[in-house]
Amino acid sequence: GAFIAVAGYHSGDLQIFSFTGSTPVLVGSVSTGSSLESVSWAPTGNYLAVADSGYPSKLEIFSFNGSNPILINSINAAQWVNSVSWSPDGRFITVADRYAYILQTFSLNKNEDLIQVGDNVNTGANSEPQAVLWSPKGHFIAEVNYWTNTLEVFSLTQGSAELDVSKKITTNANPT
């Protein structure tokens, strides 16, 4: 089916709605008791990655089979993970950490373990990365920095999840 995920910052609820073109219908929900900032579906539709900015801040992975999402794994973030994006091929999950000024990339192996791949990528002092997003074909990752008013585009190193800065440009004030 066609599903929409909603992450609740103040409620801490992860809600899943079925949507067929008319009115969205709630089909599943889980309360995390924390502050959820961002959610991204795996391309297969059977997993969700969630940026949880509670204490400790973490990347959480939920499985989904048409009803209530089930937490299957999580990994602590450096300080405050606030944006998450799943790669189009489903191999990688990248998070932006607002106060550590870094991007981190993880993989979910066949045992559903989260494993960091590559090094932390520094986005610059006081940059406060706001959003991270994979390109549709998975060749690039873009992220915007709130305080430095920049867009950075990273390319993947051949055959790995290592990121290299390819372009950094100035944006309008305080991009999100």
pTM of this prediction?
0.89
Check residue 127 and give its pLDDT.
84
Q: How confident is the model at residue 163 (pLDDT cuts 50, 70, 90)?
A: low
* Per-residue pLDDT at 162 exceeds 70: no
Give the tens place of pLDDT for each residue, 139-153.
Answer: 889 998 888 888 888
Give the tens place of pLDDT for each residue, 48-76.
Answer: 999 999 888 999 999 999 999 999 999 99
Residue 91, CA distances (Å) to 99, 107, 113 in order: 26, 6, 13
